[in-house]
């Protein structure tokens, strides 16, 4: 955790205290807290200066100062939040008996404070004489808020504030001086300058066999030899993915050697002397054995006349270095010089030339597949010998756990080759990670990976470090990261989040994934375009295990969080312990993985209570689902996030109500929420899932009405419970997401009136055959006026209504109405006639449409011309549709068509104006597949996937329909 992140967290804490409508600061509390706040912005600006320093500079001393600053900030933040919490609990009516001890301690501190107050009169007068409050925090505005419930006196923190300010100022001066005097990064080998420079040129060491990446090798070779228009080609990717190996294979390829009269290999690295490296390149190009001082550019140009030159610039870290090297090479008229560059960061390459680097000029080196991974592992362990048959299964598992990264495979293979490399039991333990082979490999790999993390910008470093809390193979939802990031207090501009929910975090992920190559994406949104990869949008992402290990190790060292993975056995001593438990003291977060029941262990529970309960800000249960309740009240006081969806509670755990600073709460509980839930007045995200989604007949479970007193709520997700909003309750002005609640039509209308800024609505409506079902259209008519709504998911829960729906009289021309700014629409069980879908097609920004369970009824759907122009994803599931024919000029952006369980479907077409696309057929009429095989696309390449589970074994057929003009075309199954 960087000091920059600690600064952001403290700034958010102070702003929340000052601006909260629930708290009134007793004088001189406003001045004390503002005095501390005023020290933070200059400190944050100074910390950001580190981002402008060269990667060749050593950051060892700066990182040590960073840790001191972070510890100073955390100490003051703990003191501030603890005092606020105690005073809030003191003023709650009928305090819980478990809080009595805290209240008694609070009274004792107040008595000590009164005795000390006389000594602070001079300081208090000095504070009052200064104008500490800006225009947004004038005392007069405090009285314009809603009714304030808690009076907060921060005089007791004056000692801490004065000490904090002094420490910050001292370390700030040290930090500035250290930034001004950063030393050069030391070389691993203490060579003189000449030897160090000469060692950068040419290839060193014996050439090893390159395994895998043959497809990318052929693509790159073709570009290098045949494409004479470009001056630069680049290989980018994660550290250890094989960029240098691939570049070396190109450099030493016989065809490349024949094509280029002159070849130069230079390894740049983080520490580089531009002039000497440039002269070394020119010396090799000109055929000189020494450097080229004194030779004019015209002489060098003449010596290069008519030559084709390949210059491989390996391991570039800074754009200015690459730009300087390229500009130092003189260009003759008939000279062809091609640069092949390898780099971890894509931004290093652009702008190396006047025009932006096109996507055709660089190649992202891919990971090895499972077959290539196993081949590389066995080659490194057994050489040219085959893998013994008794080790084959274990080798496959070990190679798979390396997740395709050659550096991990080679490192693990190196450990295996030095140990019992023929023992099947040993290999099985490695495959199951029941020994230290992978841990030792990750430690070695971290030395190579760490610079990529260490030289990240301050905001990206904090974001990247936080992503390590999620377990292996966990598809991290971007929206979940954003929600938890906000709740943790790691972003300041909350108004920006409201205006652009996805873009904020996507901007960071764009850097970390597409440019820095540290984060991997698993699912892309419909807006993804392989040819325009500068602005991708992700649905889910994940970390490679080697990077997850580094993140968790750095987080543990910096006391940001501790990941508790599993119980480990010490076979020699016969003792059992918790992996990572030794570093539990003072941790700000706990992530339980694989063992969600650890809190049921008495020794572990006591250890948590003793060592980190008073400092922890979040607890995440990320392990497998645990069906039985586990105690979680380990003395936590300052938690902001509690994610316990993987734990089951029979009743709502009332001890959580004492966590008054909680902002994110996720539980699995079938019991009712207590009316005292409003004590969590700081809560922004409330997620309560049922253990089993079964409801007793004629029983209704309501969300307590007190939830409307929780004005900070941004996200409510409570499937299976009814939420009502009586007319006299307050509105939730900040609420943007409402998911899973049960309600009738009138109730939903009232809910949206009480949530005027809702952007996502997911509701389940219960109808009966005796209801006036025209009210459903009235609901859509009213909801169409909700201008901020972007995502609407609406389903009819009872199955009989969808079959009995009667359409309104034909005299009503447009009975269905929808908000014009909808981006995603999911409908289920309405039973509307297909004529109504034209209203959906007129929505100007609709991108996703999912129609389930007879949302629309009828045998034929012919979309009007020009409709659904921006729609990219269409899914129809459980429908009686027989024909789907888009009219000319409709569905102009469609890329994915999914038909599921459409048993009557016989005929479908593909929009003639669309580009590349995919058709998915799941358990549909076989005639639909035959129809798809006969499609003749004019401008597109179609991929068709058909899956059927009607046979004894599920069958999947994949084929492509390629663009062919003026000829008949048929799909050929692969």
**Is there a contact between 14 and 495 (Cβ–Cβ < 8 Å)?**
no
Return the axis-axis angle of helices 3-19 and 60-91, rounded to nearest 10°. 20
Question: How confident is residue 427, by pLDDT bands cut at 50, 70 and 90?
Answer: very high
Statement: residue 810 has pLDDT above 50: no
- pLDDT at site 559: 92
Q: What is the pLDDT of residue 606?
A: 86
**pLDDT band, residue 97 (cuts 50/70/90):** very low
Q: Is the pLDDT of residue 531 over 60?
A: no
What is the reported pLDDT for 722? 83
For residue range 619-658, what is the model confidence (pLDDT) as tens digits? Answer: 999 888 888 888 888 889 999 999 999 888 988 998 899 9
Nearest Cα neighbor of 607 from 629, 583, 575, 591 is: 583
pLDDT the model gives residue 640? 93
What does the pLDDT read at residue 182? Answer: 82
Q: What is the pLDDT of residue 715?
A: 92
pLDDT at 696: 55
Residue 474 CB burial class (10 angstroms; 0-12, 13-18, ≥19): middle
pLDDT higher for 577 or 969?
A: 577
> H helices within 467-581, ranges in order?
478-487, 494-499, 503-509, 545-557
Q: Are 42 and 172 in contact (CB under 8 A)?
A: yes
Residue 567's pLDDT is what? 43
Q: Distance (Å, rounded) from C-alpha 790 to C-alpha 823?
A: 5
Which pair of tokens denotes residue 227? 């494409």
CA 766, chain centre distance (Å): 36
User: What's the whole-number average pLDDT of the chain?
Assistant: 79
Residues 123-147: tens digit of each pLDDT: 344 334 433 333 333 333 332 334 4
Cβ contact 45:52 at 8 Å:
no
Query: Sheet containing 860-863: which strands, arranged edge to edge?
Result: 860-863, 883-886, 907-908
pLDDT band at residue 526 under the 50/70/90 scheme? low
Predicted confidence (pLDDT) at residue 104 exceeds the cutoff of 50: no
Using alpha carbons, select from 789, 774, 805 the residue that is nearest to residue 846: 789
Instruction: State both tokens at 157.
Output: 């923190």
Higher pLDDT, 427 or 288: 427
User: Does the pLDDT of residue 501 top 80, yes or no?
Assistant: no
Q: What is the pLDDT of residue 954?
A: 61
Q: Is the pLDDT of residue 969 over 90?
A: no
250 pLDDT tier (thresholds 50, 70, 90): very high
pLDDT of 815 over the 90 cut: no
Question: Which has more confidence, 859 or 938?
Answer: 859
Q: Which two tokens stand for residue 592?
A: 């339980």
Where does the pLDDT of residue 946 fall: very low under 50, low under 70, confident under 90, or very high at 90 and above?
A: confident
Looking up tokens 């921060």 gives: 154
Alpha carbon distance 7, 966 (integer Å)? 66
Token readout for 183 is 């030393």
Place of tokens 């004590």: 679
Q: What is the mean predicted confidence (pLDDT) over 182-191? A: 59
Query: Do 653 and 632 touch, CB atoms closer than 8 A?
Result: yes
Does pLDDT of 811 surpass 70?
Answer: no
Our separate counts of H helices and E strands in the chain read: 31, 34
Please check the confidence at residue 700 and state whether its pLDDT lies above 90. no
The string of pLDDT tens digits covering residues 536-567 is: 456 788 899 999 999 999 999 999 999 887 54
Rounded to whole angstroms, how far apart are CA atoms 731 and 751? 9
DSSP per-residue codes, 111-158: HHHHHHHGGGHHHHHHHHHS----GGG-HHHHTTSS---EEE--GGGH
DSSP string for 755-766: -TT--EEEEEE-
**What does the radius of gyration of the chain's CA atoms come to, in whole angstroms?**
32
Look at phi and psi of residue 832 and say left if phi exceeds 0, alpha if psi is from -120 to 50, else beta. Answer: beta
What is the distance between the alpha carbons of residues 678 and 872, in angstroms, rounded to a whole number? 42
DSSP for residue 247: H
Q: pLDDT tens-digit profile of 879-907?
A: 999 998 888 778 888 888 999 999 999 98
With pLDDT > 70 as the criterion, what percentage of the chain qualifies? 76
3-state secondary structure 718-787: CCCCECCCCCCCCCCCCCCEEEEEEECHHHHHHHHHHCCCCCEEEEEECCCCCCCCHHHHHHHHHHCCCC
b/e per residue 487-502 (b: at least 16 CB within 10 A):
bbbbbeeeeebeeebb
Q: Compute the distance between CA of residue 267 and CA of residue 437 in angstroms, rounded to an integer.
A: 31
d(CA 447, CA 441): 10
Q: Which residues share a beta bridge with 234?
A: 341, 362
The number of beta carbons lying within 10 Å of the beta carbon of residue 398 is 27
Percentage of the residues of the chain whose pLDDT score is greater than 90: 29
**Residue among 425, 231, 443, 194 at smallest CA distance from 338:** 231
H or E segment to which residue 289 belongs: none
Rounded CA separation 931/937 (Å): 13
pLDDT computed for residue 428 by the predictor: 92
Question: What's the confidence (pLDDT) of residue 1?
Answer: 57
**How many Å apart are CA 894 and CA 117, to the nearest integer?**
71
Query: Which H or E element spans position 956?
Result: strand 955-961
Structure tokens that stand for 305 in this block = 């006349």
Q: Say if residue 666's pLDDT is above 60.
A: yes
Residue where the block lists tokens 């190579």: 448
Cβ partners under 8 Å of residue 203, min gap 6: 248, 251, 252, 265
Residue 663 pLDDT greater than 90, yes or no = yes
Distance from chain centroid for Cα 631: 30
pLDDT at 19: 87
Residue 803 has pLDDT above 70, yes or no: no
Going by the DSSP 8-state scheme, the letter that residue 864 receives in this structure is P
Q: Give the angle subtended at the CA of 904 by the CAs of 901 and 909, to the nearest 5°.
A: 90
Look at residue 919 and tell me whether its pLDDT is greater than 70.
yes
Q: How far apart are CA 501 and CA 98, in angstroms?
A: 39
Rounded to whole angstroms, the Cα distance separating 685 from 414 reads 47
Tell me the two tokens of residue 391: 């080790």
Cα→Cα distances 768→189, 276, 745, 747, 796, Å? 80, 83, 12, 16, 10
Distance CA 683, CA 698 (A): 31
Q: Exposed (0-12), middle (13-18) or buried (19+): which is 45, by Cβ within 10 Å?
A: exposed
Intra-chain end-to-end CA distance of the chain, in Å: 51
Rounded CA-CA distance 577/567 in Å is 6
SS3 31: helix
Place 726 in a pLDDT band, splitting at 50, 70 and 90.
confident
- Both tokens of 155, joined, read 């005089």
pLDDT interval class at 358 (50, 70, 90):
low
Residue 356 in this model has a pLDDT that exceeds 60: no
For 414-442, give the DSSP string: HHHHTS-TT-HHHHHHHHTT-SSHHHHHH
The H or E element that residue 685 is part of is strand 685-689
Strands (E), 194-328: 232-236, 262-267, 308-316
In 3D space, the residue among 253, 204, 208 whose CA is nearest the CA of residue 383 turns out to be 208
What is the arithmetic mean of pLDDT over 686-694?
Answer: 83
Is residue 806 over pLDDT 80? no
**pTM for this prediction:** 0.84
pLDDT in tens, 292-341: 454 555 666 666 666 788 889 999 998 888 888 888 776 655 567 888 99
More confident residue, 325 or 121: 325
Distance from C-alpha of 412 to C-alpha of 433, rounded to nearest angstrom: 12
pLDDT in tens, 192-221: 444 455 566 767 666 778 898 999 999 999
Q: What is the pLDDT of residue 127?
A: 38
78 pLDDT higher than 90: yes
Confidence of residue 115 (pLDDT cuts 50, 70, 90): very low
Higher-confidence position of 444 and 730: 444
Per-residue pLDDT tens digits for 150-159: 889 999 888 8
């Amino acid at each position: 955790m960087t000091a920059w992140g600690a600064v952001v967290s403290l700034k958010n804490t102070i702003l929340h205290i000052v601006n909260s409508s629930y708290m009134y600061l007793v004088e001189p509390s406003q001045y004390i807290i503002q005095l501390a706040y005023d020290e933070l912005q200059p400190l944050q600006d100074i910390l950001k200066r580190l981002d402008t320093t060269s990667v060749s500079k050593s950051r060892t001393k700066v990182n040590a100062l960073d840790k001191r600053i972070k510890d100073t900030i955390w100490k003051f933040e703990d003191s501030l939040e603890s005092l606020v919490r105690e005073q809030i609990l003191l003023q709650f009516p009928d305090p819980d008996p478990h809080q009595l001890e805290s209240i008694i301690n609070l009274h004792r501190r107040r008595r000590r404070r009164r005795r000390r107050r006389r000594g602070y009169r001079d300081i208090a007068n000095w504070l009052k004489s200064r104008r500490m409050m800006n225009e947004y925090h004038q005392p007069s505005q405090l009285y314009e808020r809603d009714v304030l419930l808690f009076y907060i006196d921060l005089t007791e923190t004056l000692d801490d504030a004065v000490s904090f300010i002094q420490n910050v100022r001292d370390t700030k001066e040290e930090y500035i001086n250290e930034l001004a005097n950063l030393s050069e990064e030391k070389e691993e080998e203490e060579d003189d300058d000449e030897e160090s420079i000469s060692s950068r040129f040419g290839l060193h060491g014996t050439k090893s066999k390159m395994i895998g990446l043959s497809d990318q090798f052929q693509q790159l070779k073709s570009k290098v030899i045949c494409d004479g228009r470009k001056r630069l080609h680049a290989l980018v990717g994660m550290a250890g993915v094989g960029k240098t190996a691939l570049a070396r294979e190109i450099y030493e390829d016989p065809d490349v050697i024949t094509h280029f009269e002159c070849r130069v290999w230079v390894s740049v690295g983080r520490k580089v002397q531009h002039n000497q490296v440039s002269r070394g390149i020119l010396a090799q190009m000109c055929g000189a054995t020494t450097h080229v001082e004194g030779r004019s550019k015209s002489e060098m140009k003449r010596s290069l006349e008519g030559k084709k030159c390949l210059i491989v610039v390996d391991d570039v870290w800074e754009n200015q270095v690459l730009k300087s090297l390229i500009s130092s090479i003189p260009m003759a008229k008939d000279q062809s010089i091609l640069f092949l560059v390898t780099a971890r960061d894509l931004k290093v390459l652009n702008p190396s030339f006047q025009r932006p680097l096109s996507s055709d000029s660089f190649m992202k080196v891919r990971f090895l597949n499972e077959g290539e991974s196993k081949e590389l592992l066995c080659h490194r362990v057994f050489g040219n010998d085959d893998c013994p048959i008794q080790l084959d299964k274990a080798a496959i598992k070990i190679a798979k756990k390396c997740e395709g990264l050659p550096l991990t495979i080679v490192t693990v293979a190196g450990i295996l080759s030095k140990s019992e490399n023929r023992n099947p039991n040993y290999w099985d333990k490695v495959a199951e990670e029941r020994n230290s082979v992978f841990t030792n490999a990750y430690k070695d790999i971290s030395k190579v990976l760490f610079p990529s993390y260490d030289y990240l910008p301050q905001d990206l470093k904090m974001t990247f470090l936080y992503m390590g809390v999620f377990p292996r193979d966990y598809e991290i939802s971007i929206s979940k990261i954003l929600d938890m990031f906000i709740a943790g207090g790691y972003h300041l501009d909350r108004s920006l989040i409201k205006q652009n929910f996805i873009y904020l975090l996507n901007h960071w992920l764009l850097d970390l994934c597409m440019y820095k190559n540290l984060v991997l994406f698993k699912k892309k949104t419909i807006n993804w375009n392989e040819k325009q990869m500068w602005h991708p949008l992700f649905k889910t992402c994940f970390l490679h295990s080697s990077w997850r290990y580094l993140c968790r190790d750095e987080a543990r060292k910096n006391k940001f969080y501790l990941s508790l993975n599993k119980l480990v056995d010490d076979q020699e001593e016969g003792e059992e312990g918790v992996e990572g438990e030794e570093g539990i003291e003072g941790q700000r977060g706990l992530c339980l993985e694989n063992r969600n029941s650890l809190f049921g262990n008495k020794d572990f529970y006591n250890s948590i209570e003793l060592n980190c309960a008073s400092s922890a800000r979040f607890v995440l249960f990320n392990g497998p689902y645990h069906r039985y309740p586990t105690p979680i009240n380990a003395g936590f006081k300052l938690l902001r996030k509690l994610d316990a969806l993987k734990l089951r509670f029979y009743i709502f755990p009332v001890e959580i109500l004492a966590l008054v600073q909680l902002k994110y709460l996720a539980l699995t509980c079938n019991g009712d929420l207590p009316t005292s839930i409003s004590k969590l007045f700081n809560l922004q995200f409330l997620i309560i899932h049922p253990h089993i989604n079964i409801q007793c007949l004629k029983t209704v479970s309501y969300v307590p009405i007190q939830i409307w007193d929780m004005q900070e709520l941004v996200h409510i997700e409570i499937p299976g419970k009814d939420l009502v909003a009586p007319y006299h309750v307050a509105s939730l002005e900040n609420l943007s997401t409402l998911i899973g609640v049960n309600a009738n039509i009138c109730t939903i209308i009232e809910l949206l009136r009480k949530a005027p800024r809702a952007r996502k609505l997911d509701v389940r409506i219960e109808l009966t055959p005796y209801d006036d079902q025209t009210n459903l259209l009235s609901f859509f008519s009213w909801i169409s006026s909700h201008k901020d709504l972007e995502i609407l998911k609406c389903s009819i829960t009872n199955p009989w209504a969808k079959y009995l729906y009667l359409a309104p009289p034909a005299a009503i021309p447009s009975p269905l109405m929808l908000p014009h700014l909808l981006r995603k629409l999911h409908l289920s069980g309405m039973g509307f006639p297909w004529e109504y879908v034209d209203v959906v097609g007129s929505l100007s920004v609709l991108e996703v449409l999912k129609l389930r369970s007879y949302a629309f009824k009828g045998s034929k759907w012919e979309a009007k011309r020009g409709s659904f122009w921006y729609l990219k994803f269409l899914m129809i599931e459980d429908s009686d549709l027989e024909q789907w024919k888009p009219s000319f000029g409709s569905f102009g952006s469609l890329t994915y068509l999914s038909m599921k369980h459409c048993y009557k479907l016989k005929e479908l077409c593909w929009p003639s104006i669309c580009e590349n696309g995919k058709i998915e057929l799941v358990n549909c009429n076989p005639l639909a597949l035959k129809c798809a095989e006969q499609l003749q696309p004019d401008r597109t390449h179609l991929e068709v996937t058909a899956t059927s589970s009607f046979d004894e074994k599920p069958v999947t057929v994949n084929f492509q329909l390629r663009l062919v003009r003026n000829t008949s075309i048929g799909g050929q199954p692969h």
